[in-house]
Amino acid sequence: MKKLILVRHAKSDWPEETEDFDRPLADKGLKDAMNMSRFMKSNNISIDHFVSSPAVRALNTCKIFNQSYQLNVSTADQLYNPSERNFESVIYDLDDSVSSVALFSHNNGISNFANSISEDIFHFPTCGVAGFEIDCNSWSEFDGAKKKLLFFYEPGKI
């Protein structure tokens, strides 16, 4: 069994003269990311590896989560402005020694991908987190594997 955790970046700001890629987190986003990461850690949600979009708001959300988890972090360009296939390409690149991974990305891609692997239709709010159990021993088996939603957390409801 593998575990896939999808995390939408926390609430961001859009200061004047700032490109989309470089948008920082808003104060609310910083607070939500800290609260969510502590909530997950205190509820014993184990994660082996973090992979983030390189965009500032996603990578900073990942770094805040990593204050709780202290893991290796990598970035994947495919997680910025992602399609469903982009998520799959990142998953297929994972080493099989990774049992549980968290991917930090953006809407609409993250909601579309989550809905493509789950019958539980939902829309990710900023800093929303969904965890899935993937019935496989190798990430290369992801596409054909049975997937089950384990949890869906929203920052306003934890």
Helix (H, G, I), strand (E, B) or coil at 37: helix
pLDDT at 63 over 90: yes
Confidence of residue 123 (pLDDT cuts 50, 70, 90): confident
User: Count of alpha carbons within 13 Å of 86, Cβ hemisphere only?
Assistant: 23
Per-residue pLDDT, averaged over 54-80, amounts to 97
pLDDT for res 147: 97
pLDDT for res 95: 96
pLDDT for res 33: 98
